[in-house]
Structure 1
């Protein structure tokens, strides 16, 4: 039922997907940005449903998965992490990739909807540690596109990798462009 709602919504509002959609890729980290609005979450669920990418999960603090509403987060594709575990976040998620034959997660490189001074680095270190590719997805509100970049693996040149990531995300406008990432690209 939700699938049809999302399909109609995206068609009526004129959104489309461009670039290489990772339909057959079993393991990857999807980096989604620029994250400038709470509506990005709705758009993420819509695109995931319409493009039939239900295997892509999201990470959230384990406290959200407790009764009475925890089942909703699991049903929506959430995977709990223990923020207070002696193993850090990167190790916990990298281990999920290692333990599962098929595992894909979506994360925002900003970690918030506010304007940031730098990108978070967890997604990058997870990809490196688990040896999985990064798939970048931009929500381009100006052109109404879910824009996919070709996948890439982290290299030994972290600065060049981050420059590649920033260059991709600064080429689009989020819902609130003033909260974008242009100021981070030097």
Structure 2
């Protein structure tokens, strides 16, 4: 994984960057810049996912970091007039009946665009659940890109991109690192937070 100095990419996406800066000025939240700044394609976790506002936070975090986010959303979000708008914001409709096709498509896009930032909300819903979906893990492993831990934390009213790590394929060990990071992150609605845990953390992802 490569890092870049804070000034790198200063001319990228000026309009979206300005929108994000205005959002942070007007909101009661503090954006925490990524440190060290990471370059290259990656998967970004958006968690804890407890509110519709998380979508706005995700966009403004990405735009403030001058990233071009691609995010995964259920197909119904792209129905009718919303389709072109959602795609313009980086949305990728997910057909859950063909998950293999999605991973293959993302692998091809990473090979073509070395600055791709794929944003995934592993909780899959704004409601409290029992575990995370493993799509983010499978995508990061299949594409060979690092995983960045994005966060929203209401008690401190901070959000941003935290640690970036390389998944080892030892699912339990990797998830322990992820749990440690999110242990003190509560989301916008803490009562709806889901503990970072996959349904099956046994063995290796490569098995």
Same-fold status (TM-score > 0.5): yes
Where in structure 1 are there 5+ consecutive unaligned residues?
A: none
Q: TM-score, normalised by structure 1?
A: 0.82
Is 1:164 the counterpart of 2:181? The answer is no
Is 1:34 the counterpart of 2:48? The answer is yes
Distance 1:145 1:73, change over 3 A: same
Give the Å deviation of 1:81: 4.0
Residue of 100, 125, 145 corresponding to 1:87:
100
Partners of 2:43 and 2:118 within 8 A in 1: yes
Give the Å deviation of 1:124: 0.4
Is 1:52 the counterpart of 2:63? The answer is no
* Matched residue count: 183
Give the Å deviation of 1:93: 2.7
Deviation string 1:159-179 (CA, Å, 9 cap, x unpaired) is: 011111122112112111112
Give the Å deviation of 1:88: 4.5
Partners of 1:107 and 1:123 within 8 A in 2: yes
Partners of 2:151 and 2:159 within 8 A in 1: yes
Deviation string 1:22-62 (CA, Å, 9 cap, x unpaired) is: 4x522100011001111111121222223322x12112345
Distance 1:92 1:63, change over 3 A: farther
Q: TM-score, normalised by structure 2?
A: 0.75
Where in structure 2 are there 5+ consecutive unaligned residues?
A: 1-14, 199-207
User: C-alpha root-mean-square deviation of aligned residues, in Å?
Assistant: 2.7
Partners of 1:94 and 1:127 within 8 A in 2: no
User: Hey, which bits of structure 1, 4+ residues long, moved more than 6 A?
Assistant: none
